Homo-oligomer: A and B are copies of this chain.
Amino acid sequence: MKKPSNIQKITLKRGKQPSVNEYITNICDGDIPFLSKAITLIESTNPKHKDIATRIIKGCLPFANKSVRIGITGVPGVGKSTFIEALGHHILQASKKIAVLAIDPSSSINKGSILGDKTRMESLVRNKNVFIRPSPSGNNLGGVARKTRETIILCEAAGFDTILIETVGVGQSETMVHSMVDFFLLLKIAGTGDELQGIKRGIIEMADAIVINKIDNSSKANVQRALSDFKNALHLYPIKESTWQPKVTSCSALNNQNIDAIWNIIQDYLVLTKKNAYFQTRRNLQNEYWLLETLNQNVLNHFYSDSKIKLELKNALNTIKNQKGSPFEMADILLNSYFKLK
């Protein structure tokens, strides 16, 4: 689809709210101030802003979807920032434009590069082909995920063809990131012996590649052992629908060692999944997932935030605690009350 050009390109003025069409035109033209301001609308809690944001996203959608989205996860201390910086510089050599986003309030993008004074992605930040945006705030991970996902669309429309999304390997944020990326990369360090934790938490299952980072700081024996442990762990899982066999490798982000090989793995994945059409299948499945997830959350929220239901639920919990009724009987009563009301 051709980019919209009926609207004259304008310069963003402080305090003035541009029209939806002005936003769309300028974002699609790669204008960073417009992109940033539109992301701020996405992140706003003002319902008016939400409405404008929705229309901007709708307008940008036809120009989005042309990037590769890469999720990078790992526990604190695994070297995510250094890795993203090293990978970023490697990708830039191929004249790519990179957007770096985060989905966790505790993300290093937040703490180190954007808000802190000693930026850890210093050299990336200065590059004009790199756009870095901290994680949107919010306690509700679902809300944070929605904002990040909508931000991806705008970044893609603005011409960023490689989206790196960082998340800390704790809690449920990995599942969120996994549901919005094409390739999911798990960073580890050798010698922790925690591949069982990764199995337990379901992260190994999501990984398209597991990378042992900081080999400059580990013994060869430990690195070898970590590689073989994770290879074994991957054997637990059936072959993926993509037919991709997840890879296990090592690197030193600090010394730029093996970063090219990791980028090649990602390229191999893209070649395979674009050839067998899984690339688009996965994006369609993700869109379905977010549609259904948003519906489920909102339908349930509507029920539980109903003031009558809140009171009845409190009473029902008391009733079952005192053995005066079964949970199923109480559920029937609440459901009757809710659906009669409507």
Contacts and interface: CB of A to CB of B under 8 A. Distances in A.
Contacts of A58: 325-326, 329
A236 interface: yes
A308 B116 CA distance: 51
Interface string A319-337: 0110111111111101100
Given A299-B303, A326-B153, A332-B54, A287 B320 contact: yes
The 3 A-B pairs with the shortest beta carbon distances in the complex, nearest first, are A342-B342, A294-B331, A291-B327
Contacts of A158: none
Interface string A120-148: 00000000000000000000000000100
A317 interface: yes
19 contacts: A54-B328, A54-B332, A57-B326, A57-B328, A61-B326, A65-B323, A196-B196, A196-B233, A197-B236, A287-B326, A287-B327, A290-B327, A290-B328, A291-B316, A291-B320, A291-B327, A299-B299, A299-B300, A299-B335
A296 interface: yes
A321 B287 contact: yes
Contacts of A299: 299-300, 303, 335, 338
A330 B335 CA distance: 27
A290 B294 CA distance: 23
Counting every copy of the chain, the complex holds 2
Given A288-B317, A326-B61, A342-B342, A331 B196 contact: no
A301 to B, nearest CB: 10
B150 A326 contact: yes
Nearest to A323: B61
Interface residues of A, number: 53
For the residues of A in contact with B, the DSSP-based class is: helix
A300 B197 CA distance: 33
Contacts of A65: 323
A163 B97 CA distance: 63
Contact of A329 (B54, B197, B326): B54
Nearest to A309: B295
A323 B334 CA distance: 39
B325 A61 contact: yes
A326 to B, nearest CB: 6
Interface string A57-95: 110011011000000000000000000000000000000
A290 B330 CA distance: 10
B324 A61 contact: yes
Contacts of A57: 326, 328-329
Nearest to A235: B196
Interface in A263-320: 284, 287-291, 294-296, 298-300, 302-303, 316-317, 320
Interface string A96-129: 0000000000000000000000000000000000
Given A196-B196, A287-B327, A291-B328, 8 more contacts: A62-B323, A199-B199, A200-B237, A284-B321, A291-B316, A291-B330, A294-B327, A295-B334
A237 B332 CA distance: 36
